[in-house]
Structure 1
Amino acid sequence: MQQSIQDRSHDAAARPTPLRKTRHALRCAALLAGLVAAFGHAGGVQAVEGGSGVYALGYIAPQAGLMPDPGSYFSVNYYAYNGTSTANVSATRQVSIAGTHLKLQEQLTGSIKTQVDSASSLFSLTHVFTETMLGGNPGLAVLLPYAKADLDLTASGVFSLTGPSGRSHSLSLSGKDSQRDSGIGDTTLTGLLGWHDGRLHSMAMLNVYAPTGSFDKQRAVNVGRNHWAIEPMAALTWLNEATGLEVSGAAGITFNQINPATDYKSGDEFHLDLTVIQHVSEKFYLGLVAYAYQQLTGDSGSGATSAYKGRVYSLGPIIGGMIPLGQKQQLFINGRYYQESGVENRLKGNTFFLTGTVKF
C-alpha cells in the first residue's frame, strides 16, 4: 500500500531532541497501526467471510418453480456486481513516554471506502428425467463459474498528536490498496424434484457447494470460498396462460461450513428471489424482479472478529423472451437488473444478469 503523508507540525525546533525523536517514532507507529486498524474495521463490517454468500442473489427469476420437460438443457448466466461501502474510523488514546512523566494524546480520524467489481460466467448443465419420484419429475444440475473480482480500498484521514503543553501536531494521511483474482470458482451440484398442478408449479431443490475455486488467505479477494455449504430451497410459480400473468418465487437457507484455512464460519443465510411478469406473447415478456437477504446467525470461529449479520433488499426490471434457432431449437433469454437498498453489514450496489438457455 502506497502512502502520501504531509507533515504539518508546528514544532519549529531545528535540532532533534530526545522528545522530538520520541514523538516522531510515535507518529510513525500510530500511523501504521491506524491504517491497519482502519482497514481491518472496514472489512469487519462485512458479514459472512468475503462479504457475500455462495448463492448469487437474484439467480432464480422467471418460472422459478416450473420444472422443464424431460431432457437436457445448457445455460449460460453472465453475472455482474458492483458494490461499495464506507466505514468511518475514530480512535483516541494516551501514550506514556518511557523514562519521563510525560503523556501524549494521539487521535486518528478518517474513513475507509471499499469498492468491489465482480463478473462471472456461470455455465450450468441440467438433465430432467422421464421417470417420476414422489409424484414429480426428478432432475440433476451442475454449475461451474468462471469469475473475476477487483477489490479497491481507499483510506484518508488525519492523525493528531497533542503534547503536555496542549500544542497539537497533525499528519494528513491517505492510502490505497487494490487486489485482483480470477479463475474457476466453486462448483454447485443440485438435485431437483418438480410437480405440476394446473396453474401452480412447484419445485424442491438441494444445492451443494464444493470448494473447487482458488483461495489464499493472504489475499483480500478470492474467487473461491474454501468451504462447503448445503442449501435446501423451494420454489413456486403461478402461471395463468390465458392472461399471461406469472408470479414466481424461490427461497432457500444456506448452511455454511467452516473455512479450515482461516477458522472462519459464516452464519446461516436466508434468501428470497421474487418475479412478477406479464407475458405479452409467446416470445416476449417484461416485469419486475426483487431479492431479499437476511443473515440468520452471526459469524463464528477464531477468524471472525465479530458476529455481524448482513441484510439487503433489491428491486429492478426484467425483460426476456424466446428466440427461434432453426426449426427445432429455441433460445430462452432474459436480462434483469437489481438496485440494492436497506443494506446492513454488506456492500451496497447493483446486480445484472443476462441468461440464455437451450435444450439439446
Structure 2
Amino acid sequence: MTPSRQESRVRFIRSSLGAAMVLLGCVPEAAYADEGGVSYWLPGRFGSLAAAPAVPGWSIAAVYYHTTVSASGATAAAKEIQIGRFPATVNSSLNLHLNAQGDLVLLNPTYTFATPVLGGQLAIGVTGLFGRSSADLSGTLTAVLGPLVITRNGTIADSITSVGDLYPQATLKWNAGVHNFMTYVTGDIPVGAYSPIRLANLGIGHAAIDGGGGYTYFNPQTGHEFSAVAGLTYNFKNHDTQYQNGIDFHFDWGASQFLSKQLFVGLVGYGYQQITDDFGQHPILGGFRSRVVGVGPQVGYLFPVEDMQGYLNLKAYGEFAAENRPAGWNAWLTFSISPMAPAGTVAPTRRMVTK
C-alpha cells in the first residue's frame, strides 16, 4: 500500500467513527440490575476502535438496541421481592421464571475539541434514550411466616414506553502510531421513567459513576485492529428501596479485519463481574454478585454523507456463564455522522503524556 492510500484510509476511518466510538451512554436493559439483577453498566458498550481519536467538531450517533433475556431462581425472585409482592422478612422457596425484552433508541451528540488537553484529545457528550421495556414473571412462590404458609401461582406482566436516564460522558485519547490509549468517565443522572413497584423500568432509580481506560491497536497498512476497555462502576443508594448495588468490574473488547478502507468484519465480546456485595438485599439472596460473559460477530461499513462521514455497525452478543443476572442475547445497530477529515491532511501522531 502506498503512503497516500494509507493516509487516506486512516483519515476516512477516524473521521467516520468519531461519533460512534464515544457512545458511552448506559442502556437500561429490560430486566438487568444488581438490584433485581440489573446494573448501571451495559456490557458491550465499547467495541472496535474504542480508543482511536476522532476528527474535531460535532458528531452524533444513533443506536437501535434490542435485548431478550431470561432468568430463574434467585434472580427472578429478586424482582418479586423488589416490587413488594411479599414481605422481605419472610422465609421463601422459589420456583419462578423471568422473561424480559427491550427495544430502545439512543441519541448521543458529542463535541471533540481541537485543542489538546494533557497532550490528548478531549471529547464530551451526553446520551438520552427512548424505548419500550417489557417483562413477565411466572411460576410458584411459597412463603412461610410463623405458622402461616402462603403459596402463590400465576404470572405478573408489565411494560412501559417512555424515556430513560441521562448519561453524560467525557473521554481523553492519545495516539502514538498504531497504538491508541484512552481514559473515560461517565455516569447516570436518574431522571428516567422508574418506579420501585414496577416490573419493567427505563430508569434505574439511582445515580452511578463509572470510569476506566482502554487501548486500541490499529494498523491501517494491514487492516488489523484490536480494542479493549476496562472500568469500574460505583453505585449510589436507591433511596426508594434503600438498596445499594455493589462495585462492578467490566471488560469490553473487539477485534476486526478491514477488507477495504470501507468494510470490516470481526468479533466482539465482554465480561462483567460484580466484585463487592449488594447492601439492603433480602437475606435469601446472599451477596447477590452478578456475572455474565458475552461474545458474537460484528460488521462495519464506512461511507461519505455529503460533506460528512457516515458509519454503520451491526454487532450481536450471545451470553453465557451468567450468575444472579438475566442472560440471553442482544444486538446493536449503530449509525453515526461525524466531520470529514480535511483533504490532504495526515492523521496526527501524538506522544502519550505520562506523569
**Which TM class, normalised by the smaller chain length?**
0.7 to 0.9
Find the aligned partners of 2:338 and 2:63 in 1 and give their Cα distance. Answer: 15
> Which residue in 1 is equivalent to 2:50?
64
> Which residue in 2 is equivalent to 1:51?
37
Change (3 A) 1:283 1:47: closer
SS in 2 for 1:281: coil
Extract unaligned runs of 5+ from structure 2: 1-30, 76-91, 144-150, 340-355
2:287 to 288, 307, 316: 307
User: Are 1:229 and 1:255, in contact at CA under 8 Å, matched by a contact in 2?
Assistant: yes
> Which residue in 2 is equivalent to 1:320?
300
> Which residue in 1 is equivalent to 2:121?
137
User: Are 2:33 and 2:40, in contact at CA under 8 Å, matched by a contact in 1?
Assistant: no
Query: What's the CA shift for 1:222?
Result: 1.4
Which amino acid in the other structure matches residue 85 of structure 1?
Answer: A
> Which residue in 2 is equivalent to 1:244?
223
SS in 1 for 2:73: strand
Find the aligned partners of 2:325 and 2:50 in 1 and give their Cα distance. Answer: 26
Change (3 A) 1:115 1:132: same
Extract unaligned runs of 5+ from structure 1: 1-44, 90-107, 160-171
Change (3 A) 1:278 1:109: same
Does 1:298 pair with 2:283? no
> Which residue in 1 is equivalent to 2:171?
192
Change (3 A) 1:84 1:141: same
Change (3 A) 1:233 1:153: same
Question: TM-score under structure 2 normalisation?
Answer: 0.76
**Aligned positions, number:** 286
Query: What's the CA shift for 1:158?
Result: 9.9
2:158 to 173, 176, 179: 179
Change (3 A) 1:46 1:67: closer
Find the aligned partners of 2:202 and 2:32 in 1 and give their Cα distance. Answer: 17
Query: What's the CA shift for 1:81?
Result: 1.0
User: Are 1:46 and 1:346, in contact at CA under 8 Å, matched by a contact in 2?
Assistant: yes
CA deviation map 1:318-340 (0-9, x unaligned): 001112223x2221110001000
- Structure ID, larger Rg: 1
- Percent identity over the alignment is 28
Query: What's the CA shift for 1:46?
Result: 7.7
Find the aligned partners of 1:47 and 1:216 in 2 and give their Cα distance. Answer: 14
CA deviation map 1:91-148 (0-9, x unaligned): xxxxxxxxxxxxxxxxx98721100101211110111111111111111111111132
Find the aligned partners of 1:267 and 1:109 in 2 and give their Cα distance. Answer: 25
1:343 to 322, 325, 349: 322
> Which residue in 2 is equivalent to 1:165?
none
Does 1:285 pair with 2:264? yes
Which amino acid in the other structure matches residue 167 of structure 2?
Answer: T
1:230 to 209, 215, 218: 209
Does 1:128 pair with 2:107? no
Which amino acid in the other structure matches residue 136 of structure 2?
Answer: D
Query: What's the CA shift for 1:215?
Result: 1.5
Question: TM-score under structure 1 normalisation?
Answer: 0.75
Which amino acid in the other structure matches residue 287 of structure 2?
Answer: A
> Which residue in 1 is equivalent to 2:63?
77
> Which residue in 2 is equivalent to 1:146?
130
> Which residue in 2 is equivalent to 1:203?
182
> Which residue in 2 is equivalent to 1:221?
200
Which amino acid in the other structure matches residue 343 of structure 1?
Answer: A
Find the aligned partners of 1:129 and 1:307 in 2 and give their Cα distance. Answer: 43
User: Are 2:136 and 2:199, in contact at CA under 8 Å, matched by a contact in 1?
Assistant: no
Find the aligned partners of 1:109 and 1:211 in 2 and give their Cα distance. Answer: 33
Find the aligned partners of 2:189 and 2:229 in 1 and give their Cα distance. Answer: 22
Find the aligned partners of 1:155 and 1:218 in 2 and give their Cα distance. Answer: 19
Find the aligned partners of 1:229 and 1:85 in 2 and give their Cα distance. Answer: 24
More strand by share: 1
Query: What's the CA shift for 1:198?
Result: 0.6
CA deviation map 1:288-326 (0-9, x unaligned): 000000001111036785421011111100001112223
CA deviation map 1:251-307 (0-9, x unaligned): 111100001111010111111111010011111000000000000111103678542
Query: What's the CA shift for 1:221?
Result: 2.1
Mean Cα deviation higher: 47-56 or 257-266: 47-56
Find the aligned partners of 2:239 and 2:286 in 1 and give their Cα distance. Answer: 18
Q: Which runs of structure 2 are paired with 1:248-287 in the superposition (5 Å)?
A: 248-287=227-266
> Structure with the greater relative contact order (CA < 8 A, sep ≥ 6): 1 or 2?
2
Find the aligned partners of 1:158 and 1:262 in 2 and give their Cα distance. Answer: 23
CA deviation map 1:7-36 (0-9, x unaligned): xxxxxxxxxxxxxxxxxxxxxxxxxxxxxx
User: Are 1:264 and 1:303, in contact at CA under 8 Å, matched by a contact in 2?
Assistant: no
SS in 1 for 2:264: strand
